[in-house]
Amino acid sequence: MAIIDGLKEFFKECPLLGDGVINVNYLGSKKADYSIESVPAEPVLRRYVDGATLRQYVFVFASREYYDDDREENIRAAGFYEQLQSWLEERNRTGRLPEISDGTALRLETLSGGYVLSDRAGTARYQMQCRLIYKKEE
């Protein structure tokens, strides 16, 4: 399973997403649309003498959320990302990481909290940057 496919399956297990649709490199216009999008980054972190490599796959997890001058709605959206970060931390602690065919997942980290990237017509694109660290045997 490709890394992006493994991440998509992994996030489907998150109870916070409910019945939301998880896309790859595309974020729809409806609330509860989600997307996993790759981000340019150096893939190899370390090379070992046996040919194996320690690698990273950097991505953003994005969502479409309601957004306006309603303070409570905006707090709810920010709280969603705090809960998502906690869910990822728990999965790391218990070793329940994405399954990938390109190597062995070692950890999944958040590199930023959730933030608003853009807004339009009562909704906003929120996103959180993450990275999957994995070992690839040669």
- Reported as a single tens digit per residue, the pLDDT across 9-47 is 999 999 999 888 899 999 988 777 899 999 999 999 999
CATH of residue 14's domain is 3.30.2000.30
Pair of tokens at residue 131: 């990275």
Q: To which H or E segment does residue 85 belong?
A: helix 71-94
Number of domains in the chain: 1
Candidates 112, 116, 117; CA nearest to 131 is 112
**CA–CA distance, 68 with 116 (Å, rounded to integer):** 12
Are the C-beta atoms of residues 54 and 108 closer than 8 Å to each other? Answer: no
User: What pTM was estimated for this model as a whole?
Assistant: 0.89
33 is in which domain, residue-wise? 3-136
- Reported as a single tens digit per residue, the pLDDT across 34-44 is 999 999 999 99
- Reported as a single tens digit per residue, the pLDDT across 55-112 is 999 999 999 877 766 666 667 777 889 999 999 999 999 999 999 998 999 999 999 9
**CA–CA distance, 47 with 68 (Å, rounded to integer):** 48
- Reported as a single tens digit per residue, the pLDDT across 53-63 is 999 999 999 99
